[in-house]
Structure 1
Amino acid sequence: MSIAENVARVRAQMAQAALRWGRDPSEIKLCAATKMNDAQAVRQAIAAGVDCCGENRVQELTAKLSENAYAGVPVHFIGHLQTNKVKQVVGKVDLIQSVDSEHLLRAIDREAGKQGIRQ
């Protein structure tokens, strides 16, 4: 099954579930975990209608950002983030979903402050 076919299948399932619960399917966002996929596959997923991308490894995130793989969609960091890698993530993603300690939260806040942004 191609990426486009898979995205279409997931979208159809999402729409059915939304309607079953009285929700508007257009209100529901599809965020694809892009781990272990190259930049070309990410671009195909975006072209097929993915609303945002989630990456779980800093090294893969950095590589895909350098290849402009996520153009046009928000990027979420969804993996464990070590404090020594905070600088590589803050300001480069729209959302960090995996804050698992107050220490990490403070490191993110400190780096965001240095960059003059809110993360």
Structure 2
Amino acid sequence: MGAPAPSELAARLSAIDERIADAARAAGRAPEEITRIVVTKFHPAALVRELHALGVSAVGENRQQELTAKATELADLDLQWHFIGQGQTNKAGAIRRSAEVVHSVDRDRFADALHRAADGDDVLDVLVQINLTDDPGRGGVAPDAATALAEHVLSLPSLRLRGVMAVAPLDEEPASAFARLRGIADGIRTIEPTATWISAGMTGDFVEAIAAGATHLRIGSAITGPRPDRG
């Protein structure tokens, strides 16, 4: 399946932004305090260029290779690249060279690898990813270890701790999961008051995320349409 026609893309983007604004106002929040990140996994760079023409500035990628390729091809555009996938330590340098924000710091070793990849005195914005499930194989640090990981990130001068990120479990109501995340975020802010970002909420649950205080939403298919066939 190809990319949506520009008019269709604009309509999807506008519809999502209206829903975000409505959800923010319902939660007593200003829509302007919420950053909408468009996740373009498996979509071509040409779609990102169309999104940019529609006013999109924040783009998310799950895979390092795709992040690097698109960021290189679209270097002429003013885009903020967010890496939201599971990070491998041996790819930390490539991730850091292309991303302005890394949402998925879930262990000391990955944080250390990102720090070692610093170029000069540049500072990378990062979030601690929290695993809200009972499956230790899922991405993210266990909630009871989140503060320790945040403290480790704070010890690395080339990383700036911005807050937390999580994906709601499939077997729990999103509102409940995001309330737990909010509690963890509040705890981390007691050691770093400027770590105010909460990256939570995707196409199916961003309304609940906004109600729980999410500042960054990661929305893909509702804007981009179905992912293209990779075959």
Distance 1:46 1:8, change over 3 A: same
For residue 80 of structure 1, give the secondary structure of its aligned residue in structure 2: coil
Once residues 25 and 33 of structure 1 are traced to their aligned partners in structure 2, the CA distance between those partners, rounded to angstroms, is: 19
> How far does residue 79 in structure 1 lie from its aligned partner after superposition?
0.6
> How far does residue 71 in structure 1 lie from its aligned partner after superposition?
1.8
Higher deviation after alignment, 4-13 or 24-33: 24-33
Identify unmatched segments of 5+ residues in structure 2: 125-231
For residue 105 of structure 2, give the secondary structure of its aligned residue in structure 1: coil
Could you tell me which of 40, 49, 61 is aligned with 1:55?
A: 61
State the TM-score, normalizing by the size of structure 1.
Answer: 0.88
Match of 2:82 in 1: 76
> How far does residue 66 in structure 1 lie from its aligned partner after superposition?
2.0
Identity of aligned residues (%): 38
Identify unmatched segments of 5+ residues in structure 1: none
Match of 1:45 in 2: 51
Could you tell me which of 114, 134, 146 is aligned with 1:108?
A: 114
Q: Is contact 2:67-2:98 (8 Å) kept?
A: no
Match of 1:29 in 2: 35
Match of 1:12 in 2: 18
> How far does residue 37 in structure 1 lie from its aligned partner after superposition?
0.8
Higher deviation after alignment, 21-30 or 98-107: 21-30
Could you tell me which of 54, 68, 87 is aligned with 2:93?
A: 87
> How far does residue 14 in structure 1 lie from its aligned partner after superposition?
0.6
Once residues 25 and 99 of structure 1 are traced to their aligned partners in structure 2, the CA distance between those partners, rounded to angstroms, is: 27
Corresponding position: 1:118 with 2:123: yes
State the TM-score, normalizing by the size of structure 2.
Answer: 0.48
Q: Is contact 2:71-2:81 (8 Å) kept?
A: no
> How far does residue 27 in structure 1 lie from its aligned partner after superposition?
2.2
> How far does residue 91 in structure 1 lie from its aligned partner after superposition?
3.2
Distance 1:69 1:17, change over 3 A: farther
Q: Is contact 2:57-2:78 (8 Å) kept?
A: no
Q: Deviations over 1:44-81 (max 9, x none)?
A: 22222334111111111111122116821211101111
For residue 43 of structure 2, give the secondary structure of its aligned residue in structure 1: coil
For residue 96 of structure 1, give the secondary structure of its aligned residue in structure 2: strand
Structure richer in strand, relative to its length: 2
> How far does residue 101 in structure 1 lie from its aligned partner after superposition?
1.1
Q: Is contact 1:30-1:52 (8 Å) kept?
A: yes
Once residues 87 and 17 of structure 1 are traced to their aligned partners in structure 2, the CA distance between those partners, rounded to angstroms, is: 37
Q: Is contact 1:35-1:55 (8 Å) kept?
A: yes
RMSD, aligned α-carbons: 1.7
Could you tell me which of 56, 59, 67 is aligned with 2:73?
A: 67
Amino acid at match of 1:34: T
